[in-house]
Amino acid sequence: MNVTVLGAGAWGTAFGQVLADAGNQVTMWAIEPQIVEGIRDNHRNEVRLPIVERLPENMTATGDREEAVANADIVVVAIAAQFARVALEEFAGKIPQNAIVVSLMKGIERTTGKRMDEVVCEALSLPRSRFAALSGPNLSKEVALRQHAAAVVACENRANAEVVAKACSNSYFKAFVSTDVIGVE
């Protein structure tokens, strides 16, 4: 599958590696040129995740929004919660109609008190059936070092949750499925 990760911080990059290790073609999107070039040209994110010596070959990066999501089957959002709405509004209308959008974000939007599922669906005009939340007792450093980890993927559409769980499960990361989006968030 083609998976895009919006946000190349420590957690976004570590999860991008999980997805790549599961056999997906992963495109990281970042606004910082140094991070984009590091991932694209050297398979490293020395700025946000220096403990990883080399990211998988099936991981690349771009700073171009349209290029990032053009062929995405899954779009993962790993942006700081307080910047999510503004950042995601820039992607409105660019994400393929059938893509599943997965939030790794935790927290609520300070100005509105809304949960991340509400923010993402509003910012992207996304039907709830195509929104999933992923959460678990994970630390980016441990996941980046490929230590065993697990998470739950929740989507109102169970089939979409299963697609996401399959896309991110590999030898060290296992995803379980739920339809309780609010509970997982």
116-175 per-position pLDDT tens digit: 999 999 999 999 999 999 999 999 999 999 999 999 999 999 999 999 999 999 999 999
Task: Evaluate whether 175 touches 151 at the Cβ level (below 8 Å).
Answer: yes
13-24 confidence digits (pLDDT tens): 999 999 999 999
Q: What angle do CA 40, 139, 15 make, to 5 degrees?
A: 30
pTM of the model: 0.98
27-82 confidence digits (pLDDT tens): 999 999 999 999 999 999 999 999 999 999 999 999 999 999 999 999 999 999 99
Every domain of the chain and the residues it spans: 2-184
Q: What is the CATH number of domain 2-184?
A: 3.40.50.720
SS (H, E, C) 120-146: HHHHHCCCHHHEEEEECCCCHHHHHCC
68-123 confidence digits (pLDDT tens): 999 999 999 999 999 999 999 999 999 999 999 999 999 999 999 999 999 999 99
Q: Which two tokens stand for residue 119?
A: 């923010």
State residue 31's pLDDT score.
Answer: 96
State residue 52's pLDDT score.
Answer: 98
